[in-house]
Amino acid sequence: MWFETTAKDTGRGQTIQAIEHGADLVCPYGGDGTVRAVASGALGSGVPLGLLSAGTGNLLARNMKLPHRRFQDGLVAALTGTPRPIDVMRITIDRDGSGGWSEPEYGLVMAGFGLDADILGGTPEALKARLSWLAYPVNGLRHIRHNHIPMTVTFDADQPVDTEVTTVIVGSCGLLTGGVQLMPGARFDDGELDAVIIRAGGALGWPKVVTSILSRSKRSTHAVERRVAEAVDLRAGTPTPIEIDGDHLGSAIGVRLEVLPSALSVRG
């Protein structure tokens, strides 16, 4: 069975429909945004996914060492592979700071609250079509000079900490395109969320951030602070851009993220 996604329904409704029609395997054909939409429809069903990666980053496939941008290889892995349990992020959003939390969103790779979401949301489709994943760092050069965001950060049941950040990224996968390990300790099946708080401090602060990330260091510094938790609560002092698995979801004041261990399976 083949189900077309639409601008209004990017995969969740079609997945529910496919499972209602008896599908015992659902294969999203697209990027990480399509995969997360399909995953939200498959949660709780016991039906595994097979990844037919055709996006810009394909980060879930890369982190799971599955074929990406090779349709035939992806289809073989989906049809013949073993189901592998993976963690899912459950994410709720407070748009205006009133405490009115949204219906849950779900993510499989990483969510960003701050500059990275601003970069993703501002990268033109034409640039992505021409440069693929390199479009993001190219567009990011426009944001070297930026203001810090005041933010209150809480990990699990710890005391909230008031700080200023460039961005906070939380995820189950740490590998980016180009082989860059943003979160070297992150695993898609360890039942934990890895978080990195980046404080670039303007143009002069970026070399420290870049050096820490490219060295694959797991050590925390002021520029790149690393934490592991089962739940993360972020509250910004001003409306701040948010992205989940590459999908730009506008701006928010508060974001809550929690891990759902082994909540989904992917064949490969």
Q: Give pLDDT tens digits for 152-200.
A: 999 999 999 999 999 999 999 999 988 889 999 999 999 999 999 999 8
Asked if 210 contacts 198 with a C-beta cutoff of 8 angstroms, the reply is: no
Same domain, 108 and 209: yes
For residue 209, tell me if it sits in a domain: yes
Same-domain status, 74 and 92? no
Question: Looking at the predicted structure, is the pLDDT value of residue 254 above 70?
Answer: yes
Answer yes or no: do 108 and 179 share one domain: yes
Cβ-Cβ contacts under 8 Å for 204 (sequence gap 6 or more): none
Torsion region of 44: left, alpha or beta (phi above 0 gives left; psi -120 to 50 gives alpha) = left
Our count of domains for the chain comes to: 2
Extended beta strands in 98-215, E state: 105-107, 110-114, 149-155, 161-165, 167-171, 193-198
- The confidence score (pLDDT) of residue 140 equals 47
Contacts of 3 (CB under 8 A, 6+ apart): 14, 15, 17, 18
Q: Find the domain containing 56 and state its range.
A: 12-87
List, for residues 33-77, the tens digit of each pLDDT value. 999 999 999 999 999 999 999 988 899 999 999 998 788 999 999
**Inside any domain, residue 126:** yes
**Domain termination site, one of 87, 122, 147:** 87
Cα dihedral sign for 128, 130, 135, 139?
negative
Mean pLDDT of the chain: 89
- Same domain, yes or no, for 29 and 158? no
Cα separation, 49 vs 66, in Å, equals 12
Q: Are residues 138 and 228 in the same domain?
A: yes
Angstrom distance (rounded) from CA 56 to CA 247: 12
Q: Which two tokens stand for residue 107?
A: 């993510």
State the CATH number of the domain containing residue 47.
3.40.50.10330
Per-residue pLDDT at 123 exceeds 70: no
**pLDDT at site 178:** 82
Beta-strand relationship, 52-53 and 193-198: unpaired
Residues 6 or more apart from 243 whose CB is under 8 A from it?
111, 112, 116, 117, 120, 121, 249
Percent of the chain with pLDDT over 90: 73
Q: Does a structural domain hold residue 225? A: yes
Tell whether 57 and 98 lie within a shared domain: no
Selection from 126, 90, 34 nearest residue 259 by Cα: 90
Residue type, 56: T
Whether residue 138 has pLDDT greater than 90 = no
Q: Decide which of 87, 115, 139 is a domain's last residue.
A: 87
Helix (H) or strand (E) holding 79: helix 71-80
SS3 assignment, position 266:
strand
- Residue range 109-113: mean pLDDT, rounded: 96
Residue 187 lies in a domain: yes
Question: 184 and 149 in one domain?
Answer: yes
| 234 confidence band (pLDDT: 50, 70, 90) | very high
Check: pTM over 0.85? Answer yes or no: yes
Distances (CA, A) of 110 to 51, 194, 243: 17, 9, 8
